[in-house]
Structures are given as C-alpha cells and as structure tokens.
Structure 1
C-alpha cells in the first residue's frame, strides 16, 4: 500500500466520513478513528475543532493541495466581493485537476493530478501540465489522442460510481469536457457534508 493510499484512508477515519465517496474507504467498515484509542467515545468538539475538521475535509477532498496553496486560494476568495465561502468553492472547482476529476476522466482526484502532471491533458488545444491551472467558463479540456485508450480513463468513464455535474459538459466520444460555469456550492457533488462557512471562520479567527 502506497503512502498516498494510507494517507487517504487515514483522513477518512480521522474525520469519520467518506471524503471521496469511494466504496473501498475503511470508514464503510470501521466508523471510528484510527489507532489504539480510536474506539473510545468521542468528546464534543470545540468550535475550533469543528472549524479545523471542516478545513481538513475540504482541503483533503481536493487531493494533494498543500496548506500554503489552500490558504492562498482562501485569501483570493476573501479579496473577491461577495460570499467568501462560495468564492472558495468556485476557485477550488476551477482547478484543472478538479475539472478532469468531475468529468470522470480519472477515478480519483489524486489520479487526476498525476494525469495532468504527466501531460495527458490539453486546454483549448494547448497542453497544460499544471494541476492548479485555473479553468475559465467556456474552456474546453480534452485528453490527448495518444492517451485516450488508457485503461484508467476508460474505466473511469464507464464507472457508475459518480455523476457528472451540470456545470461540466462531457463528450465521451471526443473525450472533451467543457467547463460551462463556475459552480455554486450547492451544485458541487460532494459525497460527504462540506462546511465552507466553517473554513472561512477557521481562517478568520
């Protein structure tokens, strides 16, 4: 088992929820925390504890985003006029690796990050290998022709595990995905409860 897989499973059990909605998540069998004290009765979390857990879940859902990167995204959301929590979600969902994952070109957000990194993706006809690249409404994301027969891609597209959200239009034959608009929080198909308002409170406190 790789370090990455262990880390994913650890996050699920630490926050007590299936953060990615995967059927292999250990939380499906053991709904208590990791370690020798995991089955002890949980105490009530403080306000800070709730805010921290909300941040861990949201940051973890988007894969290998570092704390520094995540805080940078938050700071940009703060600078924008309007609802900071909505802007935060919009910025996260605009990442190229998130669009590739939502379009079901890869089975996990971790695979999407690696897929982009390895140069398998084009945006508006140009190769982009930066997972954090920000897509704009109307951008067309496509899988390079040489990469379209990869087992990873074919299996992900055929998987019934996830639905493609309304803000992304996918042509499975051409293996293209059009990023139609920046979504609102309510539109994003999170498999567990996300609380971006608590994330905002975490950074604001």
Structure 2
C-alpha cells in the first residue's frame, strides 16, 4: 500500500467517516481509530465538534495545509454573503477540486498530483497550481498527450460517481466548463459537511 493511500485511510479512521465514499475505506469494515487497538470514543465537547468539522472539510480537499485553509476562511469572511457558503464556493473552485468533480481523475489526491504534473489546461493554457481558482465560464481540459493515461480512462468510465450539474463536461473530448460556483447543497459530499462548525472554530 502506498504512503498516499495509507494516509487517506488513516484520515478516514481518525475522523470515523468514509470521507470520500470509497468502497475500500477501512471504515466499511471496522469503526476504529488509528493505533494498534484503536482508541475508545469519548463524549465530544463543542470544541471537539468544531475541530472535527474543520478536519473533515480540510481533509476532504486532499488534506490541504492549515495555513492555506485558514486563508480560505479569511477570504470567505471578507466576501459578501453567508461565510459558510462562501467557504464551500472557494474550495470547489480550486483547480484540483474542479478536475476531480469533472471525473478526469479518481480521487482528490490524484487531482492535485495530476495538476502539478502539468496535465491540465485552463482556457487553453497549462496551469500547474492545484490551488488555482477557476472562474465561472472557464474551460478545463486534459492535455492531448495525457488523455490516454490509464488512470484518466478509468476515472472517466467509472460509474462510482456522477459529474455535478455545476459542471458541463464532454468526456469524449476531455474538456469541461465550470458553469457556476455551487452552494453547499449542490456539492455531492459522501458525508455531511458542516461549514458552520468551521466558522465557529476560527471565530473563537
């Protein structure tokens, strides 16, 4: 098992949820935390709930760094409207998240690596920054030389998940359009995300 997959499974077990809805998650077989014998679950405090909410959302997007996640929170606060919805919108406009949602890759972790290795074009130009924020109307496509990569072909043909309606994708041409910034209710999270807990955590 690769370190990357092992790390994902450890996140699932630590949080006690199948964060990405993957069939091979250890949570599907046993509900225990990391460690030789797991750890007993205790009653969770308000702070613990807030921390868990933050860790779930941060972990889902390929476990982005705390520094970067806090920056998204500050930007969400600065913008007009509901802070929680703004936070979800920012996370879903990350290029790696867009590539994942368009089903060009099988996992969020693979999406980050796929972008950083130069396999993705935005409006016809190569972008290698996974945190690049895509705008409404932008086109995202897999480079011609990368369209026969087995991982890409497998992801496109997989019936494990669907492309959400805020993306318009042509898998034959390996190109998609980012239609609009989604709201929380639009995002197909396998588990319940509670951005309000994230806001409470950083507002302490």
* Range into which the TM-score falls when normalised by the shorter chain: over 0.9
Consecutive unaligned residues in structure 1, runs of 5 or more:
none
**Counterpart residue number, 2:120:** 121
Using the TM superposition, name which of 163-172 and 2-11 deviates more. 2-11
Structure 2 counterparts to residues 18-29 of structure 1, below 5 A: 18-29=18-29
Who is 1:30 aligned against?
30
CA drift of 1:177 comes to 1.0
What's the secondary structure of 1:177's corresponding residue?
strand
Deviation of 1:63 after TM superposition, in Å, equals: 0.3
Report matched runs for 1:6-155 at 5 Å: 6-38=6-38, 40=40, 42-155=41-154
Which consecutive segments of 4 or more residues in structure 1 shift more than 3 A? none
Give the C-alpha shift of residue 35 in structure 1. 1.5
Unmatched runs of 5 consecutive residues or more in structure 2:
none
Q: Distance in 2 between matches of 1:89 and 1:79?
A: 14
Question: Counterpart of 2:4?
Answer: 4
CA separation in 2, counterparts of 1:6 and 1:145?
31
Alpha-carbon shift at residue 20 of structure 1 (Å): 0.6
Any idea what SS the aligned residue of 1:178 has?
strand
Give the CA deviation at 1:7: 1.4
Alpha-carbon distance in 2 for matches of 1:122, 1:114 = 14
Provide the secondary structure at the position in 2 that maps to 1:110. Answer: helix
Q: Distance in 2 between matches of 1:104 and 1:177?
A: 10
- Kindly state the Cα deviation for residue 38 of structure 1 after the two structures are TM-superposed: 2.0
Question: Match of 2:69, SS?
Answer: helix
TM-score (norm 2): 0.97
Q: Distance in 2 between matches of 1:66 and 1:3?
A: 18
Find the residue that maps to 2:121 and give its secondary structure: strand
1:166 paired residue number: 165
Output the CA distance in 2 between the equivalents of 1:55 and 1:186.
18
C-alpha displacement at 1:156, in angstroms? 0.2
Q: Structure 1, residues 126-175: CA drift from partner, whole Å, max 9, x if none?
A: 11111000000000000000111110100001111111100011001111
Pairwise CA distance, 1:119: 0.4
The structural deviation recorded for 1:39 is: 5.4
